[in-house]
Structure 1
Amino acid sequence: MSSRRSRTTLASVAASAGVSVATVSKVLNDHPQVAPGTRSLVQSMLREHGYVPRASRRESAKAAPAVEIWANEWCTYSTEIIAGAIAAGAESDVAAVVTTIEHAATGDASWARDLAAAGRRAVITLADGPSPSQLAALSRARLPVVVVDPLNPPRPPAASVGATNFAGGLSATRHLLELGHQRIAYLGGPATTATNQARMHGYRAAMEAADLPVPTEYVRTADFCYPHGVKAGAALLDLRPAPTAIFAACDYIALGAIETARARGLRIPEDLSVVGFDDTQLAAMTSPQLTTVRQPLRAMGALALRIALRLAGGEEIASHHMELATELVIRDSTQAA
């Protein structure tokens, strides 16, 4: 049985408004010979039905198909994903339009219809998926959604592309264990997100396999951001005994922990080993260069765009959540205990 939403037609809008199809067509084309009251009624029915007019042949010839990319913030992490999506779009002759606009969660979903009318074929978001109301509006406008590196994988029909977070957390912690560290702490993102939990569970699995305890105060979660690394890193270093190594759930947290250690006169990695996650450009620019778990961010962006185009074309996909492999990149921020 097909789960695809039936297409709203001019006839269904006309029936709801109690007018002829010709009258609805005149309203859509802004024809002057329509009474104001009738025009207002038809426009209301068009919004209620979520009707998206087909672009004219002339408009379609002028405008290349495009995919909308929502990015809440600009940073080395997001630009890597966006670069991958743009490159994949160029290969398919599809434009990637990047915006930071957050559409209001209101009953008016005209913004979604406007996207479809402007030639958008799908929407890609980073980390934070659309809100339920946004997702509903996009669904009514027949715009498929793909979330890259989701904090929490969205439910179908939205799709998502992520990485092997559990395996990444496991490999990062095993690396520190192999260097002889036993007092290893974890600095993570929001506690309830699936991304954080997978990385943390990888850390705990490695510690448990090594038969090493994890003190409650050695696990601290807040946000995937630099200030969290600074604040939580300071709290860890105040402990007695303090950890000799930290696995941070993103590069920004790792760099914050390194900075707070330096402020106390500690050396990296002689006094404290630190491992990050993501392998953004900053990881290779810091001193010492950061050992980290590489997410294939560009490949994730490219895959998201290809999935979005398949969904826009009405194709079936094997899974609504796909994961690409992570890889531990050993640099200079870790050494033997």
Structure 2
Amino acid sequence: MASASSRVTLAQIAEYAGVSVATVSKVINGRPDVAQQTRDLVLDLMRQYNYGGNRDNLRAHPTVELFFGFERLSIYHTEIIQSVVDAGSQEGVAVVVSRRGDHDPAADPVAWARGLVAAGRRAVITVTANTLSGPILEALNRVRLPVVLLDPESLPDGSIVSVGATNFAGGNAAATHLLSLGHRRIAYLGGTEHAWSNQARLHGFRSAMEAAGVPVPGELIRHAGTFHAAEGVEHGGRLLAVEPTPTAVFAASDELAAGVIEAARLRGLRVPDDLSIVGFDNTPLAQVISPPLTTIHGPVPEMGTVALRTALRLAAAEGIDSHHVELATRLVVRKSTRVLSAPSDSTP
């Protein structure tokens, strides 16, 4: 066996522990599918032989876990990944991306938290509050691993740090824009019904409509269940089947809006001549679909930067200014909205 002062390889650590190289790699990367006894043995050997993957070395090269509580990621999620990775590059921090399809923290919260620490994670940024609740948050707190919720689905309590957007203001701006174009029969297509962001966008939409004295019939409010395009086609089609047909739709994501555009095409409706559509997020999709989408710009790059820097401050036991930060949204007008044509106007 090598001396403690000599350099050892990953293969030697595996040999000393009596396990495969793949198992040692799983321990280093914080994978949960390793028995705790085996994990402890591998970590002890890494510390004993000062292996390059031990925690002291990893502290010199900090790593943050970006965890998604979803098995299926959207275009919006890829934008979040880009924003956090870019922020990590600026701060000299590596970002490791995982999702519920790769790891299920709820299956064994303690093992998952220990695995993150063993892999050298300094903090966790998560995109959903629902997955990291109860025992999972307790496990992270037990190993002193700070967590920041990015655009959480549920409003966290005051003890949990979160970063989001001004969803209410965004919903209000979308409805105000459509009202200014003369639309009065405006539908709302949301995503996950009870998601905090979805409810805030809907409330902002309703606020603008009520302020203008325009009622919103119940049949013009639908929730697709997700924020994906396929659901936008299905539920957008159902909204467009309502009589009289709405002249405009505010969709709670760009993907849902893209689905509504396709639903309109299938029914022979032209956007924006027959139907105006506003999305939310301002993802790259908004610029490449036809017509280019009027949407609410979500401050994703800024959110990623704030979330990462906040996570690093928490990891360094530094104070933070607020446990919840909301960054401003804004309207971006493109070609999917237009002034409402008079009923007699049948020209394209």
Fold match (TM-score > 0.5) = yes
Matches within 5 A, 1:10-159: 59=54, 60-61=56-57, 64-71=61-68, 72=70, 73-100=72-99, 101-106=102-107, 109-129=110-130, 130-159=132-161
1:283 partner SS: helix
User: What is the aligned partner in structure 1 of residue 6 from structure 2?
Assistant: none
Deviates more, 1:122-131 or 1:240-249: 122-131
Q: Percent identity?
A: 52
Sort the Cα spacing of 1:210 and 1:262 in 2 relative to 1 into closer, same or farther, 3 A. Answer: same
Cα distance in 1 between the residues matched to 2:109 and 2:200 = 37
* Conserved? CA contact 1:167–1:202, under 8 Å: yes
What amino acid sits opposite 2:311 in the alignment?
A
**Aligned CA distance change for structure 1 residues 226 and 97 (closer, same or farther; 3 Å):** same
TM-score computed with the length of structure 1 as normaliser: 0.80
**2:322 matches 1:328:** no
AA aligned to 2:316 is: G
Amino acid at match of 1:124: I
Aligned to 1:24: none
Residue correspondences, number: 292
The CA distance in 2 between the partners of 1:252 and 1:178, in whole Å, is 24
CA distance in 2, matches of 1:141, 1:55: 18
The one-character-per-residue Cα deviations of 1:271-316 (angstroms, maximum 9, x if unpaired) are 0000000011100010100000010112111110001001111122
Deviates more, 1:287-296 or 1:97-106: 97-106
The alignment partner of 1:206 has SS state of helix
Secondary structure, counterpart of 1:195 in structure 2: helix
Which amino acid is the alignment partner of residue 246 of structure 2?
P
Is the aligned partner of 1:277 residue 2:280? yes
- Mapping of 1:157-172 within 5 angstroms? 157-172=159-174
Moved more, 116-125 or 126-135: 126-135
Number of the residue aligned with 1:202: 204
Residue 108 to residue 281, structure 1, CA distance change in 2 (3 Å): closer
Which stretch shifts more, 267-276 or 313-322? 313-322
Q: TM-score scaled by structure 2?
A: 0.78
Report the CA distance shift for 1:178/1:69 in structure 2 as closer, same or farther (over 3 A): same
1:236 is aligned to 239
Asked whether the equivalents of residues 172 and 328 of structure 1 are also in contact (C-alpha less than 8 Å), the reply is yes
1:278-297 equivalence runs, <5 A: 278-297=281-300
* Residue in 1 that maps onto 2:220: 218
Superposed structure 1 runs of 4+ greater than 4 Å apart: 54-58
Q: What CA RMSD, in Å, does the superposition of the two structures yield over aligned residues?
A: 2.5
Gap change, CA 1:288 and 1:107, over 3 Å in 2: closer
Structure 2: runs of 5+ lacking an equivalent = 1-16, 18-35, 341-348
Matches within 5 A, 1:312-323: 312-323=315-326
Structure 1: gaps spanning 5 or more residues: 1-29, 31-42
